[in-house]
Homo-oligomer: A and B are copies of this chain.
């Protein structure tokens, strides 16, 4: 498919990053630096930052220094006109929900392909919530949007959900029927200033608004079957309890899994470790060699040590680590860890865009 492989030709698709100064926006910019498929032409943010050069406006915390190319760009206001004027054909959106709800449909109407981390359209029937290793076929839904609107919106799942469905996908074949999950979520999941220091210092907050509902709803959609142009929710029980812990990055999940038949530790570990998806088959630029890494140690995964799991270098934070698999009868337990702003947000969006490009949903410049 030479026409859609930008690497073969050297052409890169022009891209905009919306909400560029936040934690997810920064991860987009870090991962897009030197990217073979996409080239940042526009950065947008709130009026407060607009007009400043990115390197000076951002309080960079995504590791290393602000990439040179992005550092020199002047930030635009998050408005459809600014994005269109910049010439972007692909949009990576880290906008807050309200702004996303207003701007993304407008950009779609103008024919752009939006890969969005916002939660507002995830339940739309024609919007796929894509975790590329899990439900690449759902991208088909976006073709329907293209026909109807000109452009497309592909949604990213909730951050915890991305990790959860990656673990669940290879277990469906073993007869998985129900999952009970308690989450230990990092403070970066609440955004740059979303959580007061005093509230979480040496504390746990056993509540994250709407998170439990999202985990259940989105998991069933992502794991559902695309049939006759619509997604049939998976037949699975997802019981979630979500807590916030004083950890910087990496959402840790404690899972109980109930199967329709007897399971054993080795079978489960093998199913997880051997799991590969279309991104691996296509060698997408941000795809980790192994989406699920099974740890043999008795006390892993741990956020500080494992949040950035994933090889090669460009896929750091894209692999989900699983450990302490235990099985007894038809029940199993394990722990899983997902980097919330990479696999749970920017990285997963980017991987979806890489897939869309290979699938011909995004076209190279004429």
Most buried by B among A203, A243, A331: A203
CB of A193, distance to nearest CB on chain B (Å): 4
Interface positions, chain A 237-291, Cβ under 8 Å from B, are 239, 241, 243, 245-248, 252, 254, 256
Among candidates B195, B252, B333, residue contacting A204 with C-beta atoms closer than 8 Å: B252
Q: Is A188 an interface residue (CB 8 A)?
A: yes
Interface positions, chain A 172-200, Cβ under 8 Å from B, are 180, 182, 184, 187-188, 190, 192-200
The reply to whether A298 and B207 contact each other, CB–CB distance below 8 Å, is yes
The reply to whether B201 and A190 contact each other, CB–CB distance below 8 Å, is no
**Chain B residues near A207 (CB, 8 Å)?**
298-299, 324
The reply to whether A201 and B246 contact each other, CB–CB distance below 8 Å, is yes
Among candidates B197, B256, B300, residue contacting A197 with C-beta atoms closer than 8 Å: B197
Q: Is A347 an interface residue (CB 8 A)?
A: no
Q: Is A323 an interface residue (CB 8 A)?
A: yes
A254/B239 contact (C-beta < 8 A), A201-B304, A299-B207 known: no
Q: Is A301 an interface residue (CB 8 A)?
A: yes
**Chain B residues near A192 (CB, 8 Å)?**
196, 198
Q: What's the number of copies of this chain in the assembled complex? A: 4
CB of A64, distance to nearest CB on chain B (Å): 8
Bound complex: CA A256 to CA B333 (Å): 14
Among candidates B195, B256, B299, residue contacting A205 with C-beta atoms closer than 8 Å: B299
Bound complex: CA A311 to CA B64 (Å): 9
The reply to whether A243 and B254 contact each other, CB–CB distance below 8 Å, is yes
Q: Is A302 an interface residue (CB 8 A)?
A: yes
Most buried by B among A23, A60, A182, A302: A182
The reply to whether B206 and A301 contact each other, CB–CB distance below 8 Å, is yes
Among candidates B23, B187, B204, residue contacting A184 with C-beta atoms closer than 8 Å: B204
**Chain B residues near A92 (CB, 8 Å)?**
none
A204/B247 contact (C-beta < 8 A), A195-B198, A196-B197, A197-B196 known: yes
The reply to whether A256 and B243 contact each other, CB–CB distance below 8 Å, is no
**Chain B residues near A187 (CB, 8 Å)?**
197-198, 201
Q: Is A54 an interface residue (CB 8 A)?
A: no
CB of A354, distance to nearest CB on chain B (Å): 23
Which residue of B has the minimal Cβ distance to A316?
A: B64
Known: A192-B198, A203-B302, A245-B246. 10 other contacts (CB 8 A): A187-B201, A197-B200, A198-B248, A202-B246, A202-B247, A206-B252, A239-B331, A241-B254, A246-B247, A248-B304
Nearest 4 pairs between A and B by C-beta? A182-B182, A207-B299, A182-B254, A195-B197
